[in-house]
Structure 1
Amino acid sequence: MTRSHLCLLCLLLFLLNFAASEDEATTMYYLKSRLNLIPAGVNWSNPDHCKWDNVQCDANNRVTRIQLNEKGIQGWLYRDLGKLSELVVLEFFSNKISGSIPDLSGLKHLQILNLHDNLFSSSISLNLFSGMNSLQEVYLDNNPFHFWGFPVAITEATSLKILSLVNCSLAGTIPDLFSSETLPSLVSLKLSHNYLRGGLPESLGRSSLQQLYLDGQQPYLDGSISVLQNMTSLVEIDLQGNAFSGQIPDLSGLQSLRLFNVKENHFTGVVPPSLTGLKSLTVVNLTNNYFQGLMPLFDKSVSVDAITNTNSFCLDTPGAPCDPRVDALISIAESFGYPLKLAKSWRGNDPCNSWLGITCSGSNVTVVNLERQELTGTISPSFAKLTSLETIFLSNNSLTGSIPTELTTLPKLRTLDVSCVSQQYQRWCAKVQGKCDCGDYW
């Protein structure tokens, strides 16, 4: 290449940078015209926008940072803000800016987008994350957006580390796209106080998340939380105020877990040793569920809230063993998947005290009558631990498997009714309006 060609190339690059700089200057002046900056004490009066308060530019006068935070600024953002193609940080948090968030797609250098605690009310663009492969942190908390769902374009933000969308009208189901294969850098996902529904996606179990906040959904998230047992990087879990149900899974692999908050859900079953044995725990909240069995005993260094106003612990003393009759019945409930109906009724340490389906003679359990309770699962061998049993009614449920041979050891058992317990016979019985005469088909 000759010297003249080099000079021409340099001139061309200069003109391109100059044109881009002029275009950015126009964008910045339009932005200025839409914001009420004077009452906020922000000086954007210099003819050179690179010398404005809280604005930074690179050597080519291209805007790289706009950080106007906690100024009480009113107004709205210019729609063509996406033309600031070298922008690295865009922050306007804790102001009173309204309207919509402009289309920022294609800002390939943007690393931080922080607009929390404003008055943005329009819907979020489906292209919000398009082309943002450098984006690392997003904070849109506490804005009164119109209802919106996760933009699928978030999968293009492959460098994303922190996604905080608390109290911002996010609605619908949680998409199944949070695996490390899709978002390899994501460590913090905060979606509290929104309108999410449904269950936890399977991809969470293949993520590297350290923080997962899903508390306070309206109406609620529900289903099992078994996916948590695979999230071995978790440090903080907050699921408070939902309708998650079933058991707490085996959490022994979560060796860094410090916060575990499942307050105000529908969990049943015993609190597993895999949770109480975690040495990393500092805060645990189990209040307002339907946990059963003994009240869990955590290390003294752990702050524990396990108030028993809905929980069904047998005793109020952590670690105190339950009556053997209670242990046997809780084990029976385990084979049925710890049904919520039983958890609500089987409270305290005396099964002869008005427990659903339990009849006693003195302190001896003589009858277990759980027919028509919509039970699923299998029949537990633990029935054999109730040696005074005379009658077991399990008819008209949806049980599977075989009758445990241990039941043949019960010395006083006279009646075992397991008729009409398969879904097939349930459907047949429904056709005759509940007049079930299926017989014992075991």
Structure 2
Amino acid sequence: MTRSHLPLLCLLLSFLNFATSQDDAMIMQALRSSLTLTSDVNWSNPDPCKWETVQCDGSNRVTRIQLKQKWIQGTLPPDLGKLSELIVLDLFSNKISGPIPDLSGLTHLQTLNLQDNFFDSTPKNLFSGMNSLQEVYLDNNPFPLGRFRRHSETLPSLASLKLSLNNLHGGLPLSLAGSSLQKLYLNWQKLNGSISLLQNMTSLVEFDIRGNFFSGPIPDLSGLQNLSLFNVKDKQLTGLVPPSLTVLQNLTVVNLTNNYFQGPMPLFKNSVAVDAIASASSFCQEAPAMNWKGNDSCVSWLGITCYKSDITGISLWSQGLTGSISQSFANLTSLELIDLSSNSLTGSIPTELTTLPKLRLLDVSNNNINGDVPKFSGSVIVVTTGNANIGTKNK
């Protein structure tokens, strides 16, 4: 390129910058028109770069829109995703409604906060093209029921993902395994399935999935050395609480309430705030059953009988058992016999046991059972003798 061409090149670049900044200005004018601004937001200047809560770079390209807690109503214009230099879009806690437009052109966007609004739909691939995203907050919007996997494209820079109080369903997407996520909040959704991939999310610091339908055990968490908050309240999780959780050095908050955990009550350091009160009755004796080892309960577990791979009998009489009778027995639909007699069990007989289709004998005699006896079918023999408080409520 000769020197004579340089002025022309500079002129073309200048014209390009002017054209793109003018495009940004038109999009911002459309945004102003689509919103009902409140009196404390002054967007009257013809130059959007001089508007309150808006920032631009040296080429008058819009880089930040921050309209937090302004009680603004209205919708977002469809061309908002053409603000290609936008780094922060923060509309937290307003009354903006309608669809979230296609934002795939926001390749430099690092923070997307649309939390606490009235958005009712998202584009098909919400995060497509947003390879710079670090923080996403979409909590508390009336989205229609949608699958989590649909909005879980790989985002290499994403550190914080908060999608609480929406209508997501399905399981955790495999793309989260090995991700760099540090904060994952999915509480109060309709999500289900296993949380086993959690063991591969080694960058996690905060994990909150309370109020969903996840099931199965908590996986080995020994690789999550930075984990400080672990909240799995109100789930259908089962099995033992892994020792790898209780020994994490940076752990400060744990909530295990209202699950179906078994085995001993986990012991955490005094520095850890633990809420497991409502689920305490799911835990049994202070030490794990020494004769329940291995992963196959049909092979060598004391008191367990099976036909092929189905558990048909549980006979644990006179084993010094404490705690209460778990309603999780109702999930073993091949059970024909449950004998828990001559132990020190408390609480009531779970009504869920009446749903066992093949049950023929339930023996809870000589314990400390109280409460009413649920109504079983006529083919089930229920033995409750030796329980002084049967038929009365525990005071």
Query: What's the TM-score once normalised by structure 1's chain length?
Result: 0.65
Q: Does 1:213 align with 2:208?
A: yes
Identity within the alignment, %: 43
Deviations 1:158-178 (A, max 9, x none): 111100111011211111122
Write out per-residue CA displacement over residues 366-401 of structure 1, whole angstroms, 9 at most, x where no aligned residue.
Answer: xxxxxx889xxxxxxxxxxxxxxxxxxxxxxxxxxx
- How many Å separate the matches in 1 of 2:188 and 2:151? 23
The amino acid of 1:192's aligned partner reads N
- Other-structure match for 2:275: 285
1:138 is aligned to 136
CA 1:84/1:312 → structure 2, altered by over 3 Å: closer, same or farther? closer
Distance 1:24 1:195, change over 3 A: same
* Deviation of the 1:278 alpha carbon: 4.0
Match of 1:331 in 2: 290
Shift of 1:332: 4.1
Answer whether contact 1:130 1:154 (CA < 8 A) is retained.
no
Alignment map for 1:313-324 (pairs within 5 Å) = 313=284
State the match for 2:250 in structure 1: 256
Give the deviation of 1:21 after TM superposition.
Answer: 1.1
1:44 corresponds to: 43
Work out which of the residue numbers 236, 242, 262 in structure 2 matches 1:243.
Answer: 236
| Cα separation, partners in 2 of 1:261 and 1:349, compared to 1, 3 Å | closer
Amino acid at match of 2:11: L
Cα offsets for 1:140-173 (capped at 9, x unmatched)? 1111111122355644421111001110112111
Q: CA deviation at 1:130?
A: 1.4
- Counterpart position of 2:354: none
Question: Which letter maps to 1:120?
Answer: F
SS at match of 1:270: coil
- Tell me the distance in 2 between the aligned counterparts of 1:343 and 1:47: 81
Q: Does 1:196 align with 2:194?
A: no
Query: How far off is 1:236 after superposition?
Result: 0.8
After TM superposition, the structure 1 = structure 2 runs for residues 32-431 of structure 1, keeping only pairs within 5 Å, are: 32-37=32-37, 39-122=38-121, 124-151=122-149, 154-180=152-178, 183=179, 185-202=180-197, 204-217=199-212, 220-251=213-244, 254-272=248-266, 276=267, 278=269, 281-289=271-279, 306=280, 310-311=281-282, 313=284, 330-332=289-291, 336=297, 348=322, 357-359=339-341
Deviation, 1:359, is 4.8
Letter in 2 for 1:137: E
TM-score (norm 2): 0.73
Change (3 A) 1:343 1:28: farther
* CA 1:358–1:118: 2 relative to 1, 3 Å: closer
The CA deviation at 1:95 is 0.4
Seen in structure 2, the aligned counterparts of structure 1 residues 168 and 360 have a Cα distance that, compared at 3 Å, is closer
Give the Cα separation in 2 of the matches to 1:59 and 1:359. 80
Q: Which amino acid aligns with 2:28?
A: M
Structure 1 gaps of 5+ residues are 290-305, 315-321, 362-371, 375-442
Aligned CA distance change for structure 1 residues 40 and 195 (closer, same or farther; 3 Å): farther
Change (3 A) 1:166 1:199: same
The question of 1:12 aligning with 2:22 is answered: no
Q: 1:226 to 1:215 in 2, by over 3 A?
A: same
Q: Secondary structure at the match of 1:121?
A: strand
Change (3 A) 1:359 1:138: closer
CA, structure 1 residues 112+265, in 2 after alignment: closer, same or farther (shift >3 Å)?
same
How has the CA–CA distance of structure 1 residues 344 and 102 changed in structure 2, closer, same or farther, with 3 Å as cutoff?
farther
Query: How many corresponding residue pairs?
Result: 319
CA contact (8 A) 2:314 2:339 kept: no
**SS at the partner of 2:52?**
coil
| Structure 1 pair 373–233 and aligned structure 2 pair: CA distance change class (3 A) | farther
Alignment RMSD: 3.3
Q: Decide whether aligned partners of structure 1 residues 342 and 121 sit closer, same or farther in structure 2, where only a CA change above 3 A counts.
A: farther
Letter of the 2:32 counterpart: K
User: 1:230·1:253 contact (CA, 8 Å) conserved in 2?
Assistant: no
Deviation at 1:106, TM superposition (A): 3.0
Gaps of 5+ in 2: 305-310, 326-337, 344-357, 361-395
Letter paired with 2:339: G
